[in-house]
Amino acid sequence: MRRRMREAALALFYEKGYDVTTAAEIAARAGVTERTFFRHFPDKREVLFNENELAERLDVKISEAAPDLGALEAVIWAFQSLAPMFEENLKFAEPAHAVISRTPALQERQLAKAAAITLAISEALQRRDIEPGTANLVAATAMAVTAHGLQAWKQDPSVPLVDHFGEAHEALIAISSPARR
């Protein structure tokens, strides 16, 4: 049902524009009541964002990461573990990105989403006894590595996303090692 509502919203955002599309129209297009829509999404913009689910899954995966992994490696491993979720959502992510890029209010929400995920990663790392300042740095770095991997995957989907994440991590290691510069 959530997927149907998301697909209906995207279609309407494309047809009419984000600003003039209403939650009632999205619900009608998806074949649900407006009340059902609001049970799943607090407002129409949240149809495009899913950071709570991602943050929760990252938290679980970071806690499951092998104890001998370094902080950054644990987060990269967590993202690699969630690659199937990203792959499954690609059909939705591409058109959502197009809508977001045309709507300033949604661009602001996108930044808030990234900040919320970064904070969730940092908190998960702190539960692994990583000092808060270091956890914040690792979280921000992991977000950049992940964004790089996602961008590379969009450009070359013939390579699995998990490999793109790994290659982005290796590139970071390469540029941070004096012997490899």
For position 25, which CATH number holds?
Answer: 1.10.10.60
pTM: 0.85
For residue range 36-47, list pLDDT tens digits in order: 999 999 999 888
Give the Cα separation of 26 and 38 in Å (integer): 11
- 109 and 93 together in one domain: yes
- 8 and 64 together in one domain: no
The domain in which residue 176 lies consists of 49-180
Report helix, strand or coil for 97: helix
Give the Cα separation of 111 and 114 in Å (integer): 5
- 36 and 70 together in one domain: no
- 23 and 53 together in one domain: no
CA distances, 113 to each of 35, 45, 51, 63 (Å):
25, 12, 6, 21
How many other β-carbons are positioned within 10 Å of the β-carbon of residue 8?
A: 21
- 71 and 7 together in one domain: no
The CATH number given to whatever domain includes residue 53 is 1.10.357.10
- 42 and 59 together in one domain: no
For residue range 85-115, list pLDDT tens digits in order: 888 888 888 888 889 998 888 999 999 999 9
Q: Quick check: 161 pLDDT over 70?
A: yes
Number of domains present in the structure of the chain:
2
**Residues 40 and 58: beta-carbon distance below 8 Å:** no
- 15 and 88 together in one domain: no
- 168 and 102 together in one domain: yes
Answer positive or negative: Cα dihedral of 70, 72, 78, 83. negative
**What pLDDT sits at residue 71?**
97
- 101 and 159 together in one domain: yes
List b or e across 118-136, with b for residues whose CB sees 16 or more CB atoms inside 10 angstroms. Answer: bebbbbbbbeeebeeeebb
- 40 and 60 together in one domain: no
- 81 and 44 together in one domain: no
Percent pLDDT > 70 in the chain is 98
- 113 and 176 together in one domain: yes
Looking up tokens 């300042």 gives 133
How many Å separate Cα 29 from the centre of its chain? 26
